[in-house]
Chains A and B, each alone.
Chain A
Amino acid sequence: MLLISKTMKINDIFIYSLMLVSLASCQKDIPYDFDAAENKVVMNAQMHTGEDTHAVYLSISTSQSIQKIKSGSVTCYINGNMAAEAQLDTSKDDDDFIRNEALNDYNAVGSAPSMARQTRFVFKANFKPGDKVRLECTANDGDYSAYSEVIVPRPPVFHAVDTSRYYNADENSDFKQSWIYRIRIKGNDIAGERNYFRLTSEYDRTLHVEHIDGEDEPGNDEFYEEGALRIDRGKDPILSDGANETDMDISGASKNYYNAFSDYLFRDGTYDFTYQVRESAFLLGSGYDTASKKVDLTATVYPILWGITEAEYNFLKALSLYLYNGDDITFTGPISIPTNVEGGLGVVSIATPSRDTIVFNRTLYKNPNS
């Protein structure tokens, strides 16, 4: 019998402490009446420098529903000058609006019904750091209008170093010979200002596989793949944004899903943090573990550090907590999602990426235990 399970979180313990003093705590419904809440247009756009095509999503929010707009427009201004009028994009199915940058579990939260109410607009524009970008939208023949302004952040300056590697210690894994790479990111904070960041990572890899005689068709195969890497930040304090990466985590604070962080720990100084990449992620699906005799792996990892705005940082932190807590009761009340759209709702942001490249070459042989 376990008195307290290892995975019990401190906030759970608090709740149970309260429950202990209550012999018959109970829940009940109380009146909820916000039906008179005014309908509002919702404008969302996550844009990047370095890309010339940008997407904007519009919908209508009511007290208990999300409605598709009947008509609408989106106009982009850069430094006070009109840069583009967005076009209604009907070229894709609704579900294609998801870009699978990283297959983390939180993706399950985005549900198709709500996305189906989105109307997508696209426009072309090039943003530069320091630009003041304004998006204006209207909906339902002008019944709704809103705007948002964003100052494009500067790109972070950093370089990545492959500092160490070690064997994957999972004994039962078919990938026992595979390594875990630890990628170290170093850089300088932009002095004299508050800076906010987000880390992502992409990769491409090529596998040359030499098959074992008699177990498969003899010969060589080559596999190429590219995609997004899930960030395994371990317990890095910067990537966890100062939160405690333990079971003592409060309200999912360390579930920093988007790896967004501020320069609070290194303001006007240098930063130095690491994340891990599992070699097994490059080998999955290659047949290495069961049929291969020899595998030559060439993997290129692209750490991407984004300069983001304070509004986006606050939004990502709030969204991260929201995704963790959902509608569960917390001591802190409902998570408040900030919006930066005047006259409406939603979040408009522009991020500026910097990227570096690390190449791994490795030759692996068939697992003798398999």
Chain B
Amino acid sequence: MNVTSGWHTAILILALGISQSINLSAQQFTVSGHITDKASGETLIGAGAACGQTGAVTNEYGFYTLTIKGGKGISITYSYVGYDEKTVVFDLRKDTTINMALIANSKITEAVVSAKKESGIQATKMSAIEIPINIVKATPTLFGEADVLKTIQLMPGVQAGNEGFSGIYVRGGGPDENLLLLDGISMYNAEHMLGLFSIFQPEAVKKITLYKGSFPARYGGRISSIIDIRTNDGNMEETHGTIGVGVISDKFHLEGPIFKGKTSYSISARGMHTILFDPLIRLVSKSLSNEGNTVHGNYFFYDLDGKISHRFSNSDRLFFNTYYGRDALLAKDIEDDTNRYGSSWNDKSLIRWGNALASLRWNHIFNGKLFSNASIALTNYRMHMGYDSKSTDAYSDGSKSKSNYKFNYNSGMRDITAMMDFDYTPSPRHSIKFGGQYIYHTFIPETYSTKQSENANGHAVTDTSYNNHSESLHGHEISAYIEDDFTIGRWLDLNPGIHFAVFNTQGKLYMSPEPRISAKVNFGKGLSTKASYSRMAQYVHLLSSSMITLPLDLWVPITKEIKPVTSNQYSLGLYYDNIPGWEFSIEGYWKEMENILEYKDGVSFVGSSQGWQDLVVMGKGRAYGVEFFIQKTMGNTTGWIGYTLSKSERRFPGGEINFGNWFPYRYDRRHNVSVVINHRFSKKVDMSATWVYATGGTTTIPERTMTVEGPDGTIHQVNYAPYRNNYRLPASHRLNVSVNIHKQKKRGERTWSFGLYNAYNRMNPNFVFVKQGDSYNSGDTYIRRMRLKSITILPIIPSISYAFNF
């Protein structure tokens, strides 16, 4: 589809939808309000309110609006998965507010939802999946640490990157092409411990929605996926919490009312054991110090989430939430050598990286049909690497020399965001979302400074300092959107929209009109088909030189020379859900990407003083595939089977990589299978199992040996790889299982969890490298055999964890 004609069409369809809203009957009234959990007061997202065949679902703030014909004895049924239904009968003669509190039950029942949801088979949009948080908590993972991102990896169309790590690669896209939203605010680098764990604490999360194709117009800024994570508001009625101890980390969650029914709080904390034991490690280090030498080192990560919600009235709510997380690796080496006339040294090194986020949101309900949300937020990601070395050399003749060396390297980014969103629902068959956003980006791609000073007997020998004068880069991103979801007749649902973004940096203005459209045709009896087109633009890149997440990976902005990444994605799908508790879908997609970045062939991404812009090149990408998804959502046994057949390639027409030819993307995997089963034996015992299979990704392996001449005339043998990603790795597969044993205690529920990661100990390759074999002379030929070795770092790993919910 031509992009220009595409968004013209989108606007026409949008106008058609808006005109529909004008033809409303004067006899209709609007019933609106919030649907909440009765016990906690927590708003329920995606809960249904149905009046006959007409219905509505709550938005991400738990608000619903239902415009129906007035009259006597109107009956509205409220429902939500895992909650008892509740029906209200009343006379409807004017616009009415009904706030409904539902009671949770122990049965997994399907909600009666007559309205279209934002995600799933019922939605107009395709490629949108809602992942219940109880599935995240039940899914067996490494060390028993429930992990939001690793559960998302089990969805069709989503690749896991390096085996066992948290990277998300959606439909052939890269790890930086996913918009991670925490309560609507974007975050960067969502991983801990080099990607083994993600930063999201399941205890603080209420709902997760993954969009991988048909993107709602309200989202922008990334081209491959939107991961929208909504957190708990906090219990308005009673204080509850969780304490957990796992193999790697300890966690704590507490929520409750500050002013009952009005104001609530929710706080969560998680940290590695090593952060708690740090004082002990220091003490041990000191006691083991040898002749004045003390060495101390530690690695830890932690997350802190906090949220305060206040209900001013039925129409106004305020939310303040924060997140702060860090990884830190530190080492100290201190020696005070009194035997050598007072010589000493003191070396300290530290790498620290992580996110900080604070946001303030205000929900206001203008009337039963118009809901608004205003937000301001600050997101900050920082990586700091520092080294400070001081030494004094003292000699028997009384002379002394001192030296001091400092090195600091910083990179990071900061976003200041202001946004305004509106939901307008003129009728149950028609809703409009519109709004705008401004983001002030500040990027510090790489700043380093060095200071070296030496002093001999009081005389300065050298005193040199240098920095790379890297200036912060600033970007202004302004966007506006409108999307319209409406039904025409009995069969056709449409969701056209447009997201228009402007990005200004270094005096250059980039404009990105991004039309989006989804259409759903209902054939009846649960069978439907959907088609969609989405254009997306992205203004940041992640430059990564490794196969795992390293703190040295560089977030960089677009510049005068580096253009925004764009994508055009076309999808088509077939869906069936007429068997209660079962859902079936097949989706195909074609995605084209422009201006994606890669390091050039042969550049040194470490140890080079060249700026990042000199090391990268812009190119194209394409990805296509078919995804099969069968899900069972009800009963004691739930789960899904996902299968993806896909291909993803890259091309850099300038010839800087692979001579300008297409080559497979690093995570181009032809087949990807995930099987997830959760089974509840009783109230006390449940178990989960996941099995994943993926064709091997690609990597660069030397195909030959050759010689080069050094500038000093020395001849060296080196290995040579002819092009990027020339070797396909062996397939990976793995079975994870876990069993949870619950017991109701006097003050709460105790849960013991036992898990087995990689249960049959499959040696999946995490890293591959070439090892030299035999070498010998044979006539005029020098034979040099090469062997390929793989390293597996995640074999079978058992886990045990304890949690107490009160």
Interface residues in chain A, defined as those with a beta carbon under 8 Å from any beta carbon in chain B? 1-6, 8, 10, 13-14, 17-19, 21-32, 34, 37, 40, 42, 44-46, 57, 59, 61-68, 97-102, 106-107, 109-111, 113-118, 164, 166-167, 169, 171, 182, 194, 198, 228, 234-238, 241-248, 250-256, 258, 261-262, 264-265, 274, 306, 312, 314-323, 327-334, 336-339, 345-347, 349, 351
Contact = CB atoms under 8 A, between A and B. Distances in A.
A117 B770 contact: no
Nearest to A107: B714
Given A19-B793, A67-B781, A337-B720, A114 B715 contact: yes
A106 B601 CA distance: 24
A314 B462 contact: no
Given A164-B462, A262-B609, A64 B791 contact: no
B722 to A, nearest CB: 8
Across the A-B interface, give the 8 residue pairs with the lowest CB-CB distance, nearest first.
Answer: A338-B602, A253-B607, A242-B609, A99-B713, A4-B297, A101-B712, A32-B788, A34-B703
Given A4-B295, A251-B606, A316 B711 contact: yes
A213 B173 CA distance: 81
Contacts of B333: 4, 6
B333 to A, nearest CB: 5
B661 interface: no
B550 to A, nearest CB: 6
Interface stretch (B228-236, B371-379, B389-397, B622-630): B389-397
Interface string B134-169: 000000001100000000000000000000000000
Contacts of B715: 44, 57, 97-98, 110, 114-115, 118
Contacts of A34: 701, 703-704
B703 A57 contact: no
A274 to B, nearest CB: 7
B795 A248 contact: no
A331 B550 contact: yes
B87 interface: no
A29 to B, nearest CB: 6
Interface string B348-360: 0101000000000
A99 B709 CA distance: 11
A61 B705 contact: yes
Interface residues of B, number: 114
A331 B720 contact: no
Given A62-B704, A346-B706, A98 B781 contact: no
A166 B721 contact: no
Given A64-B786, A319-B716, A6 B295 contact: yes
Contacts of A198: 711
B636 interface: no
Interface string B529-544: 0000000000000000
Contacts of B702: 334
Contacts of B610: 262, 264
B607 A30 contact: no
Nearest to B719: A334
A333 B702 CA distance: 10
B362 interface: no
Interface string B700-736: 1111111111111111111111100000011000000
B440 interface: no
B407 to A, nearest CB: 5
A274 B462 contact: yes
Interface stretch (B28-36, B508-516, B746-754, B771-779): B771-779
Contacts of B704: 34, 37, 40, 61-64
Contacts of B546: 331-333
Nearest to A101: B712
B791 A319 contact: no
B718 A66 contact: no
A316 B550 CA distance: 25
Given A28-B763, A244-B407, A333-B700, A345 B706 contact: yes
Given A171-B396, A246-B387, 12 more contacts: A4-B295, A21-B196, A29-B788, A40-B704, A42-B707, A63-B703, A66-B707, A101-B712, A235-B405, A241-B608, A256-B607, A319-B710
Contacts of B331: 4, 8, 13
B385 interface: yes
B491 interface: no
A61 B702 CA distance: 12
Interface in B749-806: 763, 765, 767-772, 775-777, 780-797
Nearest to A306: B711
A237 B461 contact: no
Contacts of A32: 701, 770, 786-788
Nearest to B196: A21
B466 A238 contact: yes
Nearest to A45: B709
9 contacts: A18-B793, A21-B793, A30-B790, A32-B787, A46-B710, A57-B715, A61-B707, A242-B609, A331-B550
Contacts of B395: 169, 171
A261 B791 CA distance: 34
Interface string B669-691: 00000000000000000000000
Interface in B600-633: 601-611, 614
A318 B787 contact: no
A2 B606 CA distance: 29
A247 B611 CA distance: 23
B718 A321 contact: no
Most B-side CB within 10 Å, residue of A29, A64, A167:
A64
B296 interface: yes
B195 to A, nearest CB: 10
A322 B729 CA distance: 23
A21 B797 CA distance: 9
Given A61-B704, A166-B456, A246-B349, A102 B550 contact: no
Contacts of A25: 791-795
